[in-house]
Structure 1
C-alpha cells in the first residue's frame, strides 16, 4: 500500500500512522506516476484538485482554468491528500468512509 501526499501534511501523517505497513510517497520529491494520475483522474475527476488549498487561492483565473492533469503536474500540493493506492483500489482523502473501507 502506498500513500501519495506530502510528508509535512498532518492528514497524510495521520493516515501513515494508522496504516503502519504503508509507504508515504512525498509528491514534491517524487511526482505521481503518469498511469496512476490518469487512473486517479478517471476515478475522482475534479475532486482530485483541492480547491480549498492555499496553493489554489494563490493561482490566478487563467491558471485555475487549466486542465486538472496539468495543474497537478505543476503544483503537487494542489492534490487532495492522501491518495491511497492499495493494489488496484484507490482511495482519496482520510475520511471516515475511507478508513472504514480500509478496515480501520
Structure 2
C-alpha cells in the first residue's frame, strides 16, 4: 500500500505534497471527502503502535470539546479520529509497512528520503 491521507483544503498538506518526488506514485485519500474507515485506522494503528500517535492535539475541536482537560484512553483517541476527520494528524503516509504521521520537519524529511531511495 502506498497511500497519503490528507486534507485537500489544508495549505500545509498541499505544500508537503508539492515537496514530494513526482514519481512517488501515491494513492491520494482526502479525508474530508472520503472519511477513513475503521479498517484503515486499525491498519494505521498497527503500523504506528498507538492511536494517540495518530491523534492531532492541534485540532480546533480538541480545544472546543475541552479534551485537553481530561485523560483520554487509546479507545477515546480511536473514537474521536473516527468521529471527525480533523482529529487525524495530517498528513499520514503509508509506504508498504512504514508510516509517516504529521507535518513535523523531521518526519517530512524522513518521508522524502524514503521516497527518493526507491
**TM-score calculated relative to the size of structure 2:** 0.71
Question: Which structure 2 residue ranges, 5 or more long, are not aligned?
Answer: none
Q: Deviation above 6 Å: which 4+ runs of structure 1?
A: none
Aligned equivalents of 1:82 and 1:76: distance in 2?
11
Match of 1:56 in 2: 62
2:37–2:82 Cα contact (<8 Å) kept: no
**TM-score calculated relative to the size of structure 1:** 0.79
Aligned equivalents of 1:15 and 1:44: distance in 2?
24
Question: Which structure 1 residue ranges, 5 or more long, are not aligned?
Answer: none
1:81–1:94 Cα contact (<8 Å) kept: yes
CA RMSD of aligned residues (A): 2.2
2:7–2:30 Cα contact (<8 Å) kept: yes
Q: SS at the partner of 1:24?
A: strand
Q: 1:46-87, CA deviations, whole angstroms, 9 ceiling, x for partnerless residues?
A: 1211112212111145xx646111101111111111000112
Match of 1:29 in 2: 33
Q: 1:12-40, CA deviations, whole angstroms, 9 ceiling, x for partnerless residues?
A: 11121122343431111112233331132
Pairing partner for 1:39 from 27, 31, 43: 43
